[in-house]
Copies of this chain bind each other. A is one copy, B any other.
Amino acid sequence: MTDTPHRRGADRTEAIMRTTLELGQEIGYAKLSIEAVAARAGASKQTIYRRWSSKGALLLDSLLSLNEPGLDYPETGDLVADLRAQIYAAVDLLGRPPFGPLFKALIGEAQHDPQIAATLNERFIAPQADKTIARLKTARDQGQLSPAFDLDLAMAILSGPLYFQLLITQEQLTHEYVDRILNVLFAGMGPRPQIDREPPEAQ
């Protein structure tokens, strides 16, 4: 029979992460406690502490487990369409409930927990950025972009305003806003002032 009140290893890990997301969605990150996760998951606190060193680390893993394959880029040959599709997907997943608030809270936690910050970067931010950069690089290699096109900076201009709106102004992210950013990235802001004069001295 499959009664099996509690089992081992991966079993418990998976149950705890699922409970973390559930409870996090219900009561929010601030009120989430390891105590409560343990109670609801039918696990002991020790079992949680054996695997994760903090509430943030637990939530991070729980969220990452949702996205095992990652938010991948389609490769239709149409650069802008591909970027748009991927960014729409990311914004839809991370910019709205149920996962948006938890994702935001996690980034919040990263602000005073360097370990969370590092792991978040290594396991989510950097891989995501790398995919964006790789897609842009393909386009540049195919001559769709100028050889001088700054891949890193382009990635920052695509991501930065979205995170700014997500984290700072806390307005709802829309597809329309994504489009505006894509447009300005490739079309520019229009006629421009003199910029070619050198800045004072480096930082």
Complex Cα spacing A197 to B182, Å: 12
A179 interface residue (CB < 8 Å to B): yes
Say yes or no: A80 contacts B112, CB within 8 Å: no
Shortest A29–chain B CB gap in Å is: 5
A162 within 8 A of B: yes
The yes or no answer to A183 lying at the interface (CB within 8 A) is yes
Q: Is A107 a contact partner of B146 (Cβ separation < 8 A)?
A: no
Copies in the complex: 4
* Cβ contacts under 8 Å, A121 to chain B: 168-170
* Interchain residue pairs A-B with the least CB separation, the first 10: A160-B160, A175-B203, A188-B188, A108-B111, A160-B161, A108-B108, A146-B190, A160-B164, A156-B161, A186-B192
Q: CB within 8 Å of B: which residues of A?
A: 28-30, 79-80, 84, 88, 101, 104-105, 107-114, 117, 120-121, 125, 139, 144-146, 148-150, 153-154, 156-157, 159-165, 167-170, 174-176, 179-197, 199-200, 202-203
